[in-house]
């Protein structure tokens, strides 16, 4: 009997896209993320986007350089050519958005920007500047439709700069361990795109503005005592977890562990506009870290110079010593030669004197007599 073709259904295998969607769904369920949530987070500062709007083509070229540099694990430094102060300020701002370190080097007109990878660097932002430029007007339009921020009541507590690798379960357990904050352990605890943690309840559970205002200092005490985070503040969030109102941080804005991604409204430095006078951008964007680096480089240069001078002096001393030894050896050889010649001269003179003396003695031993003279003349006469 043949099977009914209508009842036969071909089961499609799950391809890579299907597996990706399944992983995203599981991750969203684990992090309590609404599956219908739209990612409207902008990882770039307002200063970066403002400059991008006026110089789109140039900024896109620089962004491509940043992304190629960020994707290459073997590259640790990226050096740009000298440019205007406003352009250098954009590079500094973009480097901060990427989670990179940057500094300006060399005086004008050769001043340029050098970008470094830090141990905290993870990867480049997923969204490009062009994408965020299209999203920004929509968010601005939505913000205009929303009531004024001053009219929105606080309904959540945000924890900024959490401890590295802090999990939601650890935070919930620490809050539940304290009798003053154990009620907060039953609230929803979620991570924001800015790596902050938000704790919020619902009106149905009796959580209103007065409740979060009362519990906020207690949560801040727990966070400080157990070193969970650097700061705690009241905030107002919407259904998409967008922070639409925020209280000033309780603690000082000391450096924390998470600096890779920052929210768009985090008080970033504005990019300086070009001015007629030759103003040094280092005065605007510099800091103690750059000054310390400069001082360290000067100290290393001084040490190298001192080592070179010491090596040079040592080499000159060795040369002088070698020349002195050579002169001493040469003088000794000449002295020995002179003594040898003198000895030979003395020996020659002595031999000559002895020879003359012997002849003199021999001559004196032969006395002249008439008989000897007649004997000596006889042969001569015979010959004649």
On whether both 182 and 262 belong to a single domain, the answer is: yes
**Whether 197 and 251 share a structural domain:** yes
What confidence score (pLDDT) does residue 8 get? 59
Report yes or no on 297 lying in a domain.
Answer: yes
Span 131-141, average pLDDT: 70
Strands in 112-116's sheet, in edge-to-edge order, are 77-79, 112-116, 101-105
Within this chain, do residues 177 and 252 fall inside the same structural domain, yes or no? yes
3-state secondary structure of 231: strand
Average pLDDT of the chain, as a whole number: 76
* Residue 380: Cβ within 10 Å count: 8
Query: In terms of domains, do 224 and 294 share one?
Result: no
Say if 322 falls within a structural domain: no
In terms of DSSP bridges, do strands 101-105 and 112-116 run parallel, antiparallel, or are they unpaired? antiparallel
In a domain, 205, yes or no: yes
Distance separating alpha carbons of residues 228 and 296, to the nearest angstrom = 34
66: CATH = 3.30.1370.50
**Among 14-18, 38-42, 89-93, 193-197, which range has the highest average pLDDT?**
89-93
Band (pLDDT 50/70/90 cuts) for residue 255 is very low
Say if 95 falls within a structural domain.
yes
Residue after which a domain boundary falls, among 239, 274, 309: 274
Residue 74 has pLDDT above 80, yes or no: yes
CA 378-380-384 angle, to 5 degrees, is 115
In total, how many domains does the chain have?
Answer: 3
What would the mean pLDDT of 90-103 be, rounded to a whole number?
93
Average pLDDT over residues 239-247: 83
State the pLDDT confidence band at 7, using cuts at 50, 70 and 90: low
Residue 42: predicted pLDDT: 84
17-73, pLDDT tens digit by residue?
888 888 888 887 777 766 666 667 788 988 899 999 999 999 999 999 999 999 999
| pLDDT value for 261 | 40
Same domain, 269 and 291: no
Instruction: State the average pLDDT over residues 169-173.
Output: 89
Residue 360 falls inside a structural domain: no
Spatial CB neighbours of 222, under 8 Å, sequence gap ≥ 6: 174, 175, 178, 180, 181, 228
Q: What radius of gyration do the chain's Cα atoms show?
A: 49
Angle of CA points 262, 99, 117, to nearest 5°: 170
As a whole number of angstroms, the distance between CA 317 and CA 295 comes to 33
How many Cβ atoms sit within 10 Å of the Cβ of residue 364? 8
Residue 156's nearest CA partner among 210, 229, 230, 237 is: 237
Question: Which of 251, 101, 230 is CA-nearest to residue 162?
Answer: 230
- pLDDT, tens digit, 9 for 90 and up, residues 310-346: 776 666 777 777 788 788 777 777 777 777 777 777 6
**Confidence at residue 91, expressed as pLDDT on a 0 to 100 scale:** 95
> What residues make up the domain containing 306?
286-317
**Residue 111: pLDDT band with limits 50, 70, 90:** very high
Give Cα separations from 357 to 233, 267, 353 (angstroms): 129, 121, 6
Q: What's the confidence (pLDDT) of residue 140?
A: 57
Residue 265: which of 42, 38, 52 has the closest Cα?
A: 42
Q: Which of 249, 274, 299 is the last residue of a domain?
A: 274
Q: Do residues 66 and 258 lie in contact, with contact meaning Cβ atoms separated by under 8 Å? A: no
Residue, of 45 and 256, whose pLDDT is higher: 45
Respond yes or no on whether the N-terminal peptide bond of residue 109 is cis (omega within 30° of 0). yes
Establish if 124 belongs to a structural domain.
Answer: no
- Whether 301 shows a pLDDT value over 80: the answer reads yes
What's the predicted TM-score (pTM) here? 0.36
Does one domain contain both 267 and 151?
yes
pLDDT category at 264 given cuts 50, 70, 90 is: very low
Model confidence over 354-384: pLDDT tens digits? 777 666 655 555 555 555 555 555 555 555 4
For residue 337, being part of any structural domain is answered with no
The predicted model gives 107-114 an average pLDDT of: 92
Question: Is 244 within 8 Å of 236 (Cβ atoms)?
Answer: yes
pLDDT at 359: 66
pLDDT tier for residue 104 given thresholds of 50, 70 and 90: very high
Predicted confidence band of residue 86 (pLDDT cuts 50, 70, 90): very high
Same-domain pairing of 154 and 195: yes
Q: Are residues 268 and 156 in the same domain?
A: yes
Residue 247 has what DSSP assignment?
P
Judged by average pLDDT, the poorest of 75-79, 155-159, 342-346 is: 342-346
194 and 214 share one domain: yes
CA atoms within 13 A on the CB side of 226: 18
Q: Are residue 28 and residue 82 in the same domain, yes or no? A: yes
Helices marked H in the chain: 16-30, 46-54, 56-71, 85-98, 129-145, 168-177, 209-225, 282-285, 288-365, 370-383
242 part of a folded domain: yes
* Distance in Å from the first CA to the final CA of the chain: 178
Last residue of a domain, one of 218, 250, 274: 274
Both 163 and 100 in one domain: the answer is: no
Q: 174 with 90, same domain? A: no
The Cβ of residue 121 has, within 10 Å, a number of other Cβ atoms equal to 16
């Amino acid at each position: 009997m043949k099977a009914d073709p209508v009842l036969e259904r071909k089961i499609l295998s799950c391809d890579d896209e299907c597996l990706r969607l399944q992983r995203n769904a599981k991750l969203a369920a684990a992090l309590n993320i609404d599956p219908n949530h739209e990612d409207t987070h902008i990882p770039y500062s307002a200063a970066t986007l403002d400059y991008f709007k006026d110089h789109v083509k140039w900024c896109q070229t620089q962004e491509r350089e940043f992304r190629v540099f960020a994707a290459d694990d073997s590259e640790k430094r990226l050096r740009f050519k000298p440019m205007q102060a406003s352009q250098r300020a954009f590079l500094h701002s973009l480097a901060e958005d990427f989670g990179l370190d940057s500094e300006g080097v060399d005086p004008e007109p050769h001043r340029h920007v050098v970008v470094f990878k830090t141990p905290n660097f993870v990867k480049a932002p997923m969204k490009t500047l062009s994408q965020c430029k299209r999203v920004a007007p929509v968010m601005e339009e939505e913000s205009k439709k929303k009531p004024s921020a001053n009219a929105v009541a606080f309904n959540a507590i945000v924890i900024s700069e959490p401890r590295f690798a802090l999990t939601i379960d650890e935070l919930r357990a620490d809050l539940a361990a304290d009798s003053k904050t154990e009620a907060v352990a039953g609230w929803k605890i979620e991570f924001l795109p800015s790596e902050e943690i938000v704790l919020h309840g619902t009106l149905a559970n009796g959580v209103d503005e007065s409740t979060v205002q009362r519990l906020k200092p207690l949560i801040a005490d727990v966070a400080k005592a157990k070193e969970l985070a650097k700061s705690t503040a009241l905030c107002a969030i919407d259904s998409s977890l967008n922070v639409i109102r925020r209280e000033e941080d309780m603690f000082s804005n000391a450096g924390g562990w998470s600096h890779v991604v920052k929210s768009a409204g985090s008080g970033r430095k504005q990019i300086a506009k070009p001015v007629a006078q030759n103003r040094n951008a280092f005065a605007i964007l510099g800091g103690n870290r750059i000054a310390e680096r400069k001082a360290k480089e000067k100290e290393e240069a001084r040490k190298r110079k001192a080592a070179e001078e010491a090596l040079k002096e040592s080499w000159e001393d060795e040369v002088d010593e070698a020349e002195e030894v050579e002169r001493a050896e040469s003088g000794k050889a000449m002295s020995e030669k002179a003594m040898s010649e003198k000895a030979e001269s003395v020996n020659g003179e002595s031999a000559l004197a002895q020879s003359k003396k012997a002849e003199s003695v021999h001559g004196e031993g032969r006395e002249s007599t008439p008989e000897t003279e007649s004997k000596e003349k006889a042969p001569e006469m015979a010959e004649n």
